[in-house]
């Protein structure tokens, strides 16, 4: 596929998606202050961000409300307290995980909700359930994306099969999700080409959600973009599970459309995410995450290492070798 765009031109199809509350919420069990969320909402509006993801629509049967902050569940009325009628150009998104969302009850008709976009997260082996969720959300009036997680572990054949199925649904966009932070730019470009080829056939868009295990989240995001991807996930200060995500401030500084402004996001870093770090909330590149990325495996052991305040990197490098090869 031909490269799309260059370093100087504006691509009108680009959609910047701020996933700070949702992916960052995995670092602090979604316990953000109301001020944080409100300040971030207003900063995103000023920064020209296209979508703000508030959190998960998690099932209250599976997860107890007292164990999490409110953005694990993203009740419509909680979102409304932040955005009012949301009379802005910023659209509101939430994530719904296959098998972990009571979508029939918790996702209400769009005309009663402040939410615009339902992002449906699936593994490649739960496609029929994902299709059902897409159809439900579209029937209720929402935009939808399908976020196929852990793509670095999927075969090309499985990806093609999945996208051919999703192409026939009313979903708006296919998402490349590098859950393990394992992709190199060359692979991100190849996947972008593959996703875009099938997306073009069905009139869909493509998105990318990268993790920073190998300090490649930003690089993979912009490289996928130049190969045709238009929905670009990022988080303030890179806040997100494990090694975190593509930093929104890097992405906004790169994009040439003058509607994107980096300074409102820098203010959020100064006033909010820096404070979270000082309070002990942990995310970002570190050696254990680098190793799980290099080994193309789930960051779980690295998250445990970090949470236990361990610093014995060398032991960890042996442990992870044994986990992978043992």
Residues making contact with a copy of itself (CB under 8 A): 6-7, 184-187, 212, 214-220, 222-223, 226, 247, 249-250, 253-254, 262-263, 266-267, 269-270, 274, 287, 290-291, 294, 311-314, 317-318
Q: CB pairs under 8 A, 24+ apart, for 61-68?
A: 61/102, 62/100, 63/100, 67/29, 68/29, 68/30, 68/31
Report the residue number, 63 or 254, with the smaller CB distance to a copy of itself: 254
Report the residue number, 134 or 217, with the smaller CB distance to a copy of itself: 217
Report the residue number, 98 or 232, with the smaller CB distance to a copy of itself: 232
Strand residue runs (E) in 32-116: 51-56, 91-97
Q: CA 83, CA 78: separation in Å to the nearest integer?
A: 9
Report the residue number, 93 or 222, with the smaller CB distance to a copy of itself: 222
Sign for the pseudo-dihedral over CA of 212, 326, 186, 183: negative
- Angstrom distances, CA of residue 191 to CA of 159, 188, 227, 278: 9, 5, 9, 37
Report the residue number, 63 or 184, with the smaller CB distance to a copy of itself: 184
What is the smallest separation between the CB atom of 274 and a copy of itself, expressed in angstroms?
Answer: 7
Q: CA 25, CA 36: separation in Å to the nearest integer?
A: 12
What is the smallest separation between the CB atom of 255 and a copy of itself, expressed in angstroms?
Answer: 11
Report the residue number, 257 or 263, with the smaller CB distance to a copy of itself: 263
Q: Does residue 133 contact residue 171 with C-beta atoms inside 8 Å? A: no
For the chain, the farthest-separated pair of C-alpha atoms sits apart, in whole angstroms, at 55
Phi then psi dihedrals of residue 122, to 5 deg = -140, 155
What is the smallest separation between the CB atom of 27 and a copy of itself, expressed in angstroms?
Answer: 18
What is the smallest separation between the CB atom of 33 and a copy of itself, expressed in angstroms?
Answer: 19
What is the smallest separation between the CB atom of 227 and a copy of itself, expressed in angstroms?
Answer: 11
Angle between helix axes 34-47 and 76-83 (nearest 10 degrees) is 60
What is the smallest separation between the CB atom of 42 and a copy of itself, expressed in angstroms?
Answer: 14
Q: CA 297, CA 303: separation in Å to the nearest integer?
A: 12
- Angstrom distances, CA of residue 296 to CA of 244, 290, 300: 16, 10, 12
What is the smallest separation between the CB atom of 226 and a copy of itself, expressed in angstroms?
Answer: 7
Report the residue number, 127 or 217, with the smaller CB distance to a copy of itself: 217
What is the smallest separation between the CB atom of 83 and a copy of itself, expressed in angstroms?
Answer: 24
Q: CA 122, CA 129: separation in Å to the nearest integer?
A: 9
Angle between helix axes 287-294 and 300-307 (nearest 10 degrees) is 170
Report the residue number, 125 or 304, with the smaller CB distance to a copy of itself: 304
């Amino acid at each position: 596929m031909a490269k799309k765009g260059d370093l100087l031109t504006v691509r009108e199809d680009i959609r910047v998606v701020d996933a700070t509350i949702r992916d960052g919420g995995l670092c602090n069990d979604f316990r953000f202050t109301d001020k944080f969320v409100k300040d971030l909402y207003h900063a995103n509006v000023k920064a020209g961000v296209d979508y703000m993801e508030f959190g998960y629509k998690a099932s209250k049967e599976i997860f107890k409300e007292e164990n999490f902050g409110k953005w694990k569940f993203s009740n419509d009325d909680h979102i409304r307290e932040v955005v009012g009628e949301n009379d802005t150009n910023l659209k509101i998104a939430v994530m719904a995980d296959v098998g972990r969302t009571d979508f029939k009850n918790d996702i209400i008709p769009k005309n009663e909700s402040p939410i615009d976009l339902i992002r449906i997260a699936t593994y490649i082996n739960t496609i029929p359930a994902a299709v059902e969720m897409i159809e439900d959300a579209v029937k209720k009036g929402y935009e939808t994306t399908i976020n196929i997680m852990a793509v670095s572990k999927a075969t090309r054949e499985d990806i093609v099969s999945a996208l051919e199925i999703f192409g026939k649904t009313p979903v708006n966009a296919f998402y490349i999700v590098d859950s393990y932070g394992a992709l190199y730019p060359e692979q991100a470009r190849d996947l972008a080409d593959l996703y875009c080829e099938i997306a073009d056939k069905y009139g869909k868009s493509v998105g990318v959600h990268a993790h920073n295990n190998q300090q490649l989240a930003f690089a993979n995001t912009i490289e996928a973009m130049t190969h045709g991807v238009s929905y670009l996930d990022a988080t303030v200060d890179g806040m997100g599970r494990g090694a975190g995500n593509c930093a929104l401030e890097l992405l906004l500084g790169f994009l040439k459309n003058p509607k994107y402004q980096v300074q409102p996001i820098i203010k959020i870093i100064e006033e909010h995410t820096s404070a979270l770090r000082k309070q002990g909330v942990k995310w970002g590149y570190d050696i254990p995450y680098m190793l799980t990325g290099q080994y193309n495996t789930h960051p779980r052991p690295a998250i445990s290492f970090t949470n236990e305040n361990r610093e014995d990197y060398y032991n960890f490098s042996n442990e992870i070798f044994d986990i992978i090869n043992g």
